[in-house]
Amino acid sequence: MLTLGIETSCDETSVAVIDDKFNILSNVIISQIDIHKAFGGVVPEIAARNHIENILPVLDEALKKANITIEQIDQVAATTEPGLPGAVMVGRVFGKSLANALNIPFIPVNHLHGHMSSLRLSNPEINTPFLCLLVSGGHTILYQVNNNWETKMLCTTADDAVGEAFDKVARVLGLQYPGGPKVAQTADMSLPFTPILNKFPKDCFSYSGLKTAVLNFINREKQKGNSINMPEICANFQYCAINQLLSKTKEFLEKTEIKTLGICGGVSANQYLREQFSEMCKSLGVNLYLPNPSLCGDNAAMIAAAGLLNIK
């Protein structure tokens, strides 16, 4: 059984093919980063327009790399929520139309379930139940994943997502879009510093306060006539951002007594996050699973995997 995945929820146009053993036969991604860089962020109308232009060439390339014809596809899975409405609509309508033309099943996929499924693609041995920390530009959610990959939300953010905070801090510092990876690259974690903020709500994640604390710190330094130490500010922010994820996740690992943790989403590619969670899980005797870095961001292989998990 071959599953074709389609992902257009934001600014990546992606089509992938996987088999029923979750082997990736192709995973073609066209990013619009260079297009949106001039605007400092994703412009929804421009993103949707480029998805329309890219979807057919990306489909052709995915089929070519998988060495199959369109008639060999058994089912189509596409992101149908959440995301930029116009961008999501392109992939959803294209996927439905393709499935209808081929007279095969169409599987609607929640984008967040897609990110969770990237764990299955990278770690065939992962078993339920496990806790799943989803960290991206739009979401910061801790799930409990039970049998049949049914999910229960344990904790989410009261305001900003962690990835969004990374991007906003980058913008304040004048770092080029996409800002999150630039903050991580600029941060010098070997520098000594006093955490700029270590308090956050007890019942949820929260990044609005941290973002404001960094902004206020920068403004105070400028008012004093001090130069901005970019590596130190980025390191301080990154420490506080990741420390909050560590603290809340540890709390739920101990509360549920579950010994398996998966982390997914774009921010899961952050190397400092990976190192800190690896150390924490070792100390707790918890098995840690992470996606391959190439599967952390938005891609169609994870959407196809989510569709296949729904069928299974």
Q: Say what the pTM is.
A: 0.93
What local confidence, expressed as pLDDT, does residue 38 receive?
Answer: 67
Break the chain down into helix, strand, coil percent, rounded to 5.
Answer: 50, 20, 30
What structural domains and CATH numbers belong to the chain?
A: 2-119+296-311 (3.30.420.40), 127-290 (3.30.420.40)
Q: What is the pLDDT of residue 304?
A: 98
Pairwise CA distance, residues 3 & 304, whole Å: 6
The number of residues making up the chain comes to 312
Considering all CA atoms of the chain, what is the largest pairwise distance in Å, rounded to the nearest integer? 68
Banded pLDDT at 297 (limits 50, 70, 90):
very high
Cα 294 to Cα 268: distance, rounded to the nearest angstrom: 11
Which tens digits make up the pLDDT trace of 200-251?
777 899 999 999 999 999 999 889 988 889 999 999 999 999 999 999 999 9
The number of beta carbons lying within 10 Å of the beta carbon of residue 67 is 10
Is-contact 111 41, C-beta < 8 A?
Answer: no
CA gap 299, 55 in Å, rounded: 13
Q: Does the bond joining 195 to the residue before it have cis omega, within 30 degrees of 0?
A: no
Q: How confident is the model at residue 33 (pLDDT cuts 50, 70, 90)?
A: confident
Please name every residue paired with 289 in a beta bridge, in sequence order, or none if there are none: 262
Render pLDDT for 39-85 as a digit per residue (tens, 0 to 9): 777 888 888 999 999 999 999 999 999 999 999 999 999 999 999 99
